[in-house]
Amino acid sequence: MIPELAHFLCVLGFTCALALGGTGFFAAKFNQAAWLLAARQLAVLQFLTILGSFVLLDISFLRDDFTVQYIASNSNEALPWYFKASAMWGDHEGSFLLWVLVMAGWTGAVALRGRSHSIDMHGYVLGVLGLINAGFLLFLLSASNPFLRAFPLNPTVGMDMNAILQDYGHLVHPPFLYLGYVGFSVAFAYAIAALLTGRIDAAWARWSRPWTNTAWAFLTVGIALGSWWAYYELGWGGWWFWDPVENASFMPWLAATALIHSMAVTEKRGAFKSWTALLALLTFTLSLIGAFLVRSGVLTSVHAFAIDPERGVFLATIVAVVASLALLLYAFRASKLRSQIAYRGISREMLLLANNMLLTLALAVIFLYTLYPLFYEWLTGGERTSIGPPYFNRAFVPLMMLLAACLALAPLSRWKRTPLALYKPVLIMLVVSAVLGLFIPLVYAGALNLGVSLCVAIAVWIVASHLAELYRHRRSLALSFVGMNVAHLGFAITVIGIAMTSGFSVSQDLRLSVGDEVQVGERTYLFSAIRNVEGPNYVANQADFVVGDVLLQPERRQYTTRNTVTTEAAIRPGFTNDLLISLGEPVGVDAWAVRIQEKPFIRWVWLGAVLAAIAGVIAVCDVRYRRLRVRELTAAQVAD
């Protein structure tokens, strides 16, 4: 009965979402406070019903109810309980239930936090969110139902969870990713509401920005967790592959980054109104396109879900309808949102415009490169091709270096126009940073790499200019200002990590037997032993490698139910260098394929990302920002 109750609650949630859409639009159209109150209650009820459905299905996972088809296909009685719980979102149907739960959660949060807003604005926002989630729930219930029983009822031990997903990273990576993906629906809904009401102003930007910052922070953590997970779980030391599914999450992140900066101009100067609205629509649309790429099977990826093509058509229809209606509304209303704000020469507006153009161009490059194999196959009648990481890197890296230079100039820029004399300290910092950019890689690696030196120099330039700006405002530091500067510092740290690990990583593929000793870089690695070990649902070959006084134990696991083999790398983490050993296939008699790698500054890639995400949360917590927002929105409500 538990799966049937979960199914019923999900259907009830769909009913609430559909009713929320109609109620919200009616309240907004006819300025009905009572209907808006009903819409808020429906939003909360929608969240509670879907949460109940989710929890009940997860309880069925923990109880090993293999009479449910989805559970039988994605769990096993030997799984540890925490992997059983996370198996809930390990395949398409359950992960989409997580998607609609997160969507309902954001909608409920907007309902509870938006009481100070005008009736029409809040009604339209809730109505849009309700209708979108109603479409998702219709797709879930009709084409991706995770509650169906396996008839005839014949309980088994379960087919087991995907072996790669049996990792602690899977407990947190998808939830954070979805909190970011779906969170952009709030900015999307507010853009639709603003286009319908004709009000895109400083108050609107100040209201939308915290939601966008929060979703951006979640997505930043989600992408960083995915990169870290790929680094150690896939076993071969890579941390970013330009895989279509990785790009599906990175494209909304780029658009959201541009949106946050554009909202700052709309809030402070009343400029970029039309562009800001378009970015809000584009960011969530890219999230929907990403969901389609992951779940449709149109592009090949190790991360994608296997899916029936008919489901892909259904999902593509949802994406097309939502995107088309939004862009049509924008086309009819955008002309009324033009800004009449003047700025000249080098100014903060100009640098933020350059920031947006570079981010948008980078987004366009990734979008075209990601979808090019699909278009090529369609045009050639089935001939396949692919675009590898070198092509992405050659197009993307120069754009990011230009963006980094804009960030270094940004702290001392002023609105409207910046006197050139103010940039003198920045130029001094540039000279010092150039020297350090040459010096740091040379001291660390004993070799000169101009590409690495350029990246490090620009990153140091960003750090110096932002620390100087924080020091200059030390007596009046608002949290939103601190958050902005800390996010930029996080970006600089990530740039250093990417440059150093890309330029100075060491990797050797070897054929080793027990007792062999090998020199890699400046370290000696001794292959001292190998043994068979057993886990709860796998058997493994576990090797011992001695590196100085450190013992590293990589494994080659075989999961018995699905007969799947995975590589579990052994990593000695370090602040400035990681040692990584992966155990591969047996080669001949008593020999093994082994990959030994040294990854300098790899941790800085994720450290910078986490710092940037924390900065996003810091900005949202600005008390003065929230008080000002409430005063403006309350005044708008009284005026209405």
Residue positions counted in the chain: 640
CA 10 to the chain's CA centroid = 26
Please tell me which residue, 154 or 570, carries the higher pLDDT value. Answer: 570
pLDDT of residue 467: 92
Say what the alpha-carbon torsion angle 483, 487, 489, 490 is, to the nearest 10 degrees: 130
pLDDT in tens, 118-138: 899 999 999 999 999 999 999
pLDDT higher than threshold 60 for residue 628:
no
Question: Residue type at 338?
Answer: R
The band of 254, judged by pLDDT with boundaries at 50, 70 and 90, is very high
pLDDT of residue 505: 92
Which residue is associated with the tokens 């005044």?
635
pLDDT of residue 157: 80
- Helical H segments across 446-523, by residue range: 450-472, 479-504
Q: How many CB atoms lie within 10 A of CB 349?
A: 23
- List all residues 6 or more positions away from 43 whose beta carbon is below 8 Å from its beta carbon: 16, 20, 104, 107, 108, 110, 111, 126, 129, 130
- Helix, coil or strand: residue 532: strand
pLDDT of residue 630: 52
C-alpha–C-alpha distance, residues 575 and 111, integer Å: 43
pLDDT in tens, 44-102: 999 999 999 999 999 999 999 999 999 999 999 989 999 999 999 999 999 999 999 99
Average confidence (pLDDT) over 214-236 = 89
pLDDT higher than threshold 80 for residue 404:
yes
Please tell me which residue, 34 or 445, carries the higher pLDDT value. Answer: 34
**Which DSSP helix (H) or strand (E) runs through 268?**
helix 244-269
pLDDT in tens, 357-403: 999 999 999 999 999 988 888 888 878 888 888 999 999 999 999 99
